[in-house]
Structure 1
Amino acid sequence: MKKQKHRTSSGKMSERMSLLEFLKERSGIRLSKLEAYLDLVDKASVQYIPKDLCKQEFSLSNGQFVITITELAGCWHWHRATVRTFIEQLEKMNQISVTRLTKSQIITIPMLAETPAVSPIDAALDVFRQKMCTALDEWRSGKMSASACASECEQLYEDATEEVAIILQKADNGNSVGKVPCGRNIPESVGHAFCMTALTAVCEATFH
């Protein structure tokens, strides 16, 4: 066991040394790699979203922020291609993770992303909300009719509440207190949470 721990520690130290080597400061007026990396950390710490993208819907967790290659290039005084390569290299070194969207990117700094464990219900609500927003975006863009979108949202609700019922049933299997849900019979408070999530998503889509 001790040898295994030693190998793990050595691996982490090697990663840190590789990062420091990669971030060595360059001469010139542009931001150094270290300054650029610290800028990413600063943006992640405040869950930064560019002003021109603030009207869009983003669901950010700790250690995440939204950015464009163009904005980073302007902030750092780098070429866009250089910024893109820098981001890709950090990603390969497991120092960041990137979710590439159509016109922007969501960057996650792992060391800032540690969050308390999310309950299965909260996780299911988040997934349900994201799926609802995706379906409603299809309707807003004209790719899906209103009736088809309504059917899709209804099915998403049915699937989500069925999944929650199964989660609660498994959780209660070893619990002698409380009634085990059957089928889609879920506690009223949980059902209310899913209904309000669906209603909020529909209202926001209609408003936009």
Structure 2
Amino acid sequence: MTLARSLLPLAMVLAPIAWPGSALAYDRLPTGLAQLTPDEVRERVEVHDDPATPHVVVSTREAWDRGRSIGGAHARDVHLRALVDRQSGAVRWQVWHELVHPGPAPRVVGVKYEAGGQIAQADLLVTDQWKEDCPSVDAIHRECNRHTRLVFELPENVVSEIAEGYRPQSRSPWQLKFKAEDGKSIRGGLAPAEAAGLLHAVETVRQALPHTSG
């Protein structure tokens, strides 16, 4: 059985990235998202604890579920997940990000972000694609929306760095850039209140596991 429990805050702190040679295309979080505090996010955190699986999954998916426009697409279902190993307590930190295009969607091949003042790169673990909202056969002048689900991992020190940048009411995101096969990029970001809270929630989960006491 899978259990969903609310835990400690999931807050993610984001500082602007000065991408070389380009203007920032996503530099303000939606007002409602920016107003979330770590404690408020914490109340919405879900913990999926299925004894049949090797990991406890801690997710911020329910913290703020509205979409928003970003540079080059529409963002939907953007959240963080932590996979806590039941035996070792080791954690894998993941970013889940869905892009929506009202027509042909570029093929995304990687992601860049800033860590420690340097530009870093992550490989994509998941690149699922599907269509939605397709018109009837008679509506020849409108295309389907193309959806792309992208998943990549961050090192724990980067999640901590993001969390440390949380400022109440700040609309500055921690920015990232998806690289497309055609050389173009799609710029998005994460809300600071999510990372800080996620770190606290994960620590609570780890302390509850038998392995962590030794």
Q: Which has the larger radius of gyration?
A: 1
* Shorter-chain TM-score above 0.5: no
Higher helix proportion, which one? 1
The TM-score with structure 2 as length reference comes to 0.22
Say which structure is richer in strand: 2
Give the structure, 1 or 2, with the largest relative contact order (CA under 8 Å, sep 6 or more). Answer: 2
